[in-house]
Amino acid sequence: MTAKSFVRKVPSGMSGLWRATAPKLARLDIELTERCNCACLHCSVARPAGDAEAKAREWPTERWQTLLGEAAGLGCLVVRLTGGEPLLRSDFEAIYLHARKLGLRVMLFTNATLVTPRLARLLRDVPPLEAVEISIYGMTRESCEAVTRAPGSFAAARRGLGLLAENGVPFVVKGAVLPPTRGQADEFEAWAAGLSGNAGPPAFAVLFDLHSRRDAARSAGIAGLRSGGDEFVRFSRRHGDEAVGEWGEFCGRAGGARGDRLFICLPAAASASVDPYGRLQYCLGLRHPAAVYDLAAGSLREAVTEFLPRLRETRAADPAYLERCARCFLRGLCAQCPAKSWAEHGTLDTPVEYFCGVAHAQAIAAGLLGPGEKAWAVRDGAERAKRRRNGS
């Protein structure tokens, strides 16, 4: 018998093995807990680590493991484990290992303060296949703990980073521009570049969402920390004008006004999020009751194949939105979305003045608008963006 008898060449598209079945869900974000051992000034989520009521309502290990299996069955490739602080869960290891056994890549978002030698070894031996993302707020103990409001968190986070580095677990660090950390970005970047285990340049949070659970006092606190549009532009320009050039390109690529469709932020089947109590949302911040699906009363499949596609068809009704955002050519720049509208106004479709101001400051810096011009009133916006994209 020759090898020929066993081998038949077929075009890859005709092979059962390679025939693509479009995934129903590319990524699942799981907020394992709202609780955190830090209490960061700008946090839009966290409850105290010892919040017994929240802890009692959190889904148990088996529910998460079942959900991960359902996600894998829908074609999901990546799961993001976040919080609050996900490492507060005593069953983190069991959930993590279950995800990896299913073949899912794991994005772990943590403040690193609870990384133990055992966990670092586990991440070494069963790698997440994505760099661990670590929020570090501040280059000194004083500035860091002024943000986290958790004594000892600076040393604990550095210890956690050290354990990951010793075990060869790749990570990236993320900073935030807040009153206690303003002016530290260059130092932060230089420090991050020198970290063993660091897998890429740090990201910075500069623009903050209000409290996603709509706690008025916490939202007022966050609003008081925010950088304005001009400060955001200055920060983005600190290494040159590359970012500003990209803003023009984004606008050109986004192709003009968004119309009255609200959910333009995510392509179909991109991702979904589940909170600690089994409620599914498009993204972690979007907690408007009309945009939440209770998995206890349904299934992940129904949520991603029926509920989310229906939600995507939602149209704006707010007159201010229809007058402004629906006709605005800054869609590629502006952070306006239903989740921001929810956090600020408790609606899905109210323009958010803060993000509007930031987008206008960016557009002026990029030469898309003149001072005083309003993007929604500009009739040749798409042409301006196209010209910027073509470099003219």
Q: Which one of the spans 6-14, 34-42, 121-129, 260-268 is the region binding ligand SF4 (CB under 6 A)? A: 34-42
- Interaction with ligand SF4 in 100-139: which residues (CB under 6 A)? 111, 135
Taking the C-alpha atoms of residue 4 and residue 117, their distance in angstroms, rounded to an integer, is 53
Shortest separation between residue 161's beta carbon and ligand SF4, angstroms: 14
CB 3 to ligand SF4: min, Å: 57
Minimal distance in Å, beta carbon 360 to ligand SF4? 6
Tell me: does residue 43 bind ligand SF4 (CB under 6 A): yes
Shortest spacing between CB 358 and ligand SF4, in angstroms: 8
Backbone dihedral region for residue 162 (phi beyond 0: left; psi -120 to 50: alpha; all else: beta): alpha
- Give the integer Cα–Cα distance in Å for 186 and 190: 6
Told to check if 292 binds ligand SF4 by CB under 6 A, we report: no
Running DSSP on this structure, what letter comes out for residue 131? P
Beta carbon of residue 330, minimum distance to ligand SF4 (angstroms, whole number): 4
Handedness of CA 48, 52, 53, 57 (dihedral sign): positive
The piece of 13-21, 80-88, 225-233, 379-387 that touches ligand SF4 (CB under 6 A) is 80-88
CA–CA distance, 177 with 226 (Å, rounded to integer): 9
307: which DSSP letter? I
Report the distance separating Cα 129 and Cα 100, nearest Å.
9
Measured CA to CA in angstroms, residue 286 lies from 9, 80, 217, 326, 391 at distances of: 49, 17, 19, 20, 36
> How many residues are there in the chain?
392
Q: Verify binding: residue 83, ligand SF4, rule CB under 6 A.
A: yes
CA distances for 257 relative to 331, 346, 365, 370, 382, angstroms: 7, 24, 20, 18, 8
Least CB distance from residue 359 to ligand SF4, whole Å?
4
Binding-site size for ligand SF4 (CB under 6 A) equals 27
Encoding tokens for residue 137? 């707020």
Helix (H) or strand (E) holding 143: helix 141-148
**29, 31, 85, 349: which one binds ligand SF4 (CB under 6 A):** 85
Q: For ligand SF4, what does the binding mask look like between residues 138 and 157, x meaning CB under 6 A? A: ----------x---------
Q: Is 236 in the site for ligand SF4 (CB under 6 A)?
A: no
Q: Of 48 and 309, which CB lies nearer to ligand SF4 in the complex structure?
A: 48
When asked if residue 84 is in the footprint of ligand SF4 (CB under 6 A), the reply is yes
Q: Where are the beta strands (DSSP E) in 207-308?
A: 271-274, 279-281, 293-294
Distance (Å, whole) CA 364 – CA 243: 13
Burial (CB count <10 Å: 0-12, 13-18, 19+), residue 353: exposed
Least CB distance to ligand SF4 at residue 168 (A)? 24
Residue 241 CB, shortest distance to ligand SF4, in Å, is 21
CB of 319 to ligand SF4, least distance (A): 13
Q: Of 242-271, which residues contact ligand SF4 (CB under 6 A)? A: none
Which residues inside 325-384 make contact with ligand SF4, applying CB under 6 A? 325, 328, 330-331, 334, 336, 351-352, 355-356, 359, 375-376
Could you list the residues that contact ligand SF4 (CB under 6 A)?
36, 38-40, 43, 45-46, 83-85, 111, 135, 148, 324-325, 328, 330-331, 334, 336, 351-352, 355-356, 359, 375-376
